[in-house]
C-alpha cells in the first residue's frame, strides 16, 4: 500500500466518509448565499422593493414567526420520507422563493414569499443536522465542529462578497445579490444529489415490524448497505437500550425460537410511536436551550448597542468584535468538539459553559465603570471572547445532548422540536438583550447569572437516572 497523501489524511479526519464531506460542501455553499442575503436584505426591501422601515420590520417579524414551524414539520417529515430527496426539494423551494422576490413589490405577496423562504430555511437547518447525525454516528461531535467551521467561513465569504458588491450602490446590485442567494441554494441541491441516503432507524423499524402472526426472518445486507445497528451510535439513544432489553436470551436462542406457531411473538416487541410533544423532559430541555442560545442575540444586538450607547469605546470596534467572534469559531470550534465527545462529557461541560456566561456578563457590566476608551475596549474584547467561548461550548454540548436524548426511531421529530429553541430565541432573544441594556450594568450581571443558573438547571434535567446513564424517562441509556 502506498503512503497516504495529505489530502487522504485530511479526508480521513472528517467523519461520515464521502457523504459527510459532500454535506460540508453543501453547508459552505448554502452559507455563502445566506451571507449574501443577510448583508443586503434590509437594503433590498428599502431600495428595490420600496418598503418603509415599519413595513420591513413587520415583514421580517411575521416571516420569522411563521418560520418557527419549519423545524418540527421538517423533522416529522424526515422520519417518514427519505432524507436526501426532502433536502433537495427544500433547497429548490428556497431558491424559488428567493427568485420570486424579484417579481413583485406588493407587500402581501412579499409576506407569502418570505414566509415560504423562512420555513424552508429553518427546516433545512434541522434536516442538515439530522443527515450529519446519521452519517457521522459516534463521531457526530467532531463533525458538528467541522460543520460549524464551514458555516462560519461560508458566512464570511458571502458577507465579504456582498460588501465588495455594495460599493456600487445601485438597485441592480441588490437584485444580483439576491440571484446569487438563489443560485447558492440550487448549487446546494446539486451537491446533495451526489450524497447517498443515510440509514434511518425510524424507517428501518417501520419496515421490519412484522404483521400479526408473521415470523421475522433475518435479512442479508447487500454490500454498502448499513444495518439498523450500524446507523445507531453506541451512546446515542433511548431506543437502543430498549431494543437490547427486549432481546432476551430466550428470544435469541434458535432452539426456542423455531416453533413460531406455538409461541407467537409478544405484543411488547412492537415499536410504539414516540411523540416529542408528550415527552415533558425533552420539552423542558428544549425550553432551557432557547435561553442558552442567547449568545446569538448578544452578538447581533447586545454588544453593538451597548458599545455605542453605554461605553466610551470607539465605534469602529463594533465590527471588529464580530470579526473576532468569527475568527475564534473558525480556529477553535474543532478542538472544542472534545467537550461533547460523549453524553457524560457534554453534561459535565455545562459547568465551564456557566462560567463563560458569568464572565461575559460581568465584563460587559464592567465596561462602563471607567471613562478610558482603551479600557472600555479591552473589557468589550474580553466580553466578546467569553461569549464566543460560550457559543462554541454550547454548540458542542447542544448537538450531543439533543441527539442522545432523542429515540432513534423518532430522531427527526425530536430534533425538529429541538430546532424550535433557536427559532424562539431569534424572536424573543432581542427583547431579553435590550431589557438587559435598559437595566444597565446590573442587567448584564443578571443576564450572565441567569444563563449560568440555566446551565445548572439543564445539568440537573439531563442527570443520570439510576445507573449513571443519560436517558429519556422511563428508559435508561448506557453511556459506555
Q: pLDDT at position 308, please?
A: 86
Helix axes 70-78, 83-100, angle to 10 degrees: 150
Q: pLDDT at position 332, please?
A: 92
Q: For the chain, what is the largest distance between any 2 Cα atoms, rounded to a whole number of angstroms?
A: 86
Nearest to 360 by CA among 443, 290, 422: 443
pLDDT tens digit string along 158-210?
888 887 888 777 889 889 999 999 999 999 999 999 888 887 655 554 454 44
What integer is the mean pLDDT of 420-435? 86
Q: pLDDT at position 5, please?
A: 54
**Percent of the chain beyond pLDDT 70?**
78
Better-scored residue on pLDDT, 224 or 178: 178
Most confident of 131-140, 142-151, 460-469: 142-151
Long-range Cβ contacts of 38-43 (<8 Å, 24+ apart): 38/155, 38/158, 38/159, 39/158, 39/159, 39/162, 39/163, 39/166, 39/177, 40/162, 40/166, 40/174, 40/177, 40/178, 43/166, 43/174
pLDDT greater than 60 at residue 30: yes
pTM of the model: 0.69
Amino acid at each position: 500500500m502506498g503512503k497516504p497523501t495529505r489530502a487522504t489524511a485530511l479526508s480521513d479526519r472528517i467523519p461520515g466518509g464521502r457523504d459527510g464531506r459532500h454535506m460540508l460542501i453543501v453547508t459552505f455553499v448554502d452559507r455563502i448565499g445566506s451571507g449574501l442575503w443577510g448583508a443586503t436584505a434590509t437594503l433590498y426591501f428599502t431600495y428595490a422593493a420600496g418598503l418603509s422601515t415599519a413595513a420591513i420590520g413587520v415583514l421580517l417579524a411575521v416571516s420569522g414567526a411563521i418560520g418557527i414551524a419549519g423545524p418540527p414539520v421538517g423533522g416529522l417529515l424526515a422520519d417518514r420520507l427519505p432524507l436526501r430527496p426532502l433536502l433537495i426539494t427544500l433547497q429548490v423551494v428556497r431558491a424559488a422563493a428567493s427568485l420570486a422576490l424579484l417579481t413583485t413589490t406588493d407587500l402581501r405577496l412579499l409576506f407569502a414569499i418570505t414566509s415560504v423562504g423562512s420555513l424552508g430555511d429553518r427546516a433545512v437547518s434541522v434536516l442538515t443536522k439530522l443527515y450529519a447525525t446519521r452519517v457521522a454516528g459516534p463521531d457526530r461531535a467532531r463533525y458538528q465542529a467541522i460543520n460549524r467551521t464551514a458555516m462560519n467561513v461560508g458566512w464570511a465569504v458571502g458577507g465579504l462578497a456582498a460588501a465588495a458588491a455594495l460599493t456600487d450602490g445601485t438597485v441592480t446590485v441588490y437584485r444580483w445579490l439576491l440571484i446569487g442567494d438563489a443560485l447558492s441554494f440550487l448549487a446546494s441541491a446539486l451537491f446533495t444529489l451526489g450524497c447517498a441516503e443515510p440509514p434511518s432507524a425510524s424507517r428501518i423499524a417501520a419496515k421490519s415490524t412484522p404483521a400479526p402472526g408473521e415470523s421475522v426472518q433475518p435479512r442479508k445486507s447487500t454490500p454498502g448497505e448499513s444495518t439498523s445497528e450500524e446507523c445507531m451510535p453506541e451512546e446515542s439513544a433511548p431506543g437502543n437500550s430498549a431494543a437490547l432489553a427486549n432481546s432476551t436470551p430466550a428470544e435469541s436462542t434458535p432452539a426456542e425460537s423455531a416453533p413460531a406457531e406455538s409461541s407467537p411473538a409478544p405484543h411488547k416487541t412492537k415499536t410504539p410511536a414516540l411523540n416529542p410533544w408528550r415527552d415533558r423532559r425533552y420539552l423542558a430541555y428544549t425550553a432551557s436551550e432557547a435561553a442558552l442560545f442567547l449568545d446569538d442575540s448578544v452578538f447581533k444586538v447586545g454588544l453593538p448597542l451597548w458599545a455605542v450607547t453605554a461605553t466610551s469605546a470607539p465605534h469602529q470596534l463594533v465590527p471588529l468584535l464580530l470579526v473576532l467572534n468569527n475568527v475564534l469559531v473558525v480556529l477553535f470550534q474543532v478542538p472544542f468538539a472534545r467537550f461533547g465527545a460523549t453524553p457524560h462529557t457534554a453534561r459535565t461541560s455545562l459547568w465551564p459553559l456557566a462560567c463563560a456566561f458569568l464572565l461575559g456578563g460581568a465584563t460587559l457590566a464592567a465596561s462602563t465603570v471607567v471613562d478610558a476608551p482603551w479600557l472600555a475596549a479591552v473589557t468589550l474584547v474580553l466580553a466578546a471572547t467569553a461569549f464566543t467561548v460560550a457559543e462554541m461550548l454550547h454548540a458542542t454540548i447542544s448537538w450531543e445532548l439533543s441527539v442522545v436524548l432523542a429515540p432513534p426511531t423518532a430522531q427527526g421529530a425530536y430534533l425538529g422540536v429541538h430546532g424550535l429553541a433557536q427559532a424562539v430565541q431569534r424572536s424573543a432573544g432581542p427583547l431579553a438583550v435590550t431589557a438587559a441594556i435598559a437595566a444597565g450594568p446590573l442587567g448584564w450581571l443578571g443576564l450572565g447569572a441567569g444563563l449560568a443558573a440555566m446551565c445548572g438547571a439543564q445539568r440537573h434535567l439531563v442527570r443520570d437516572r439510576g445507573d449513571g446513564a443519560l436517558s429519556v424517562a422511563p428508559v435508561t441509556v448506557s453511556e459506555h
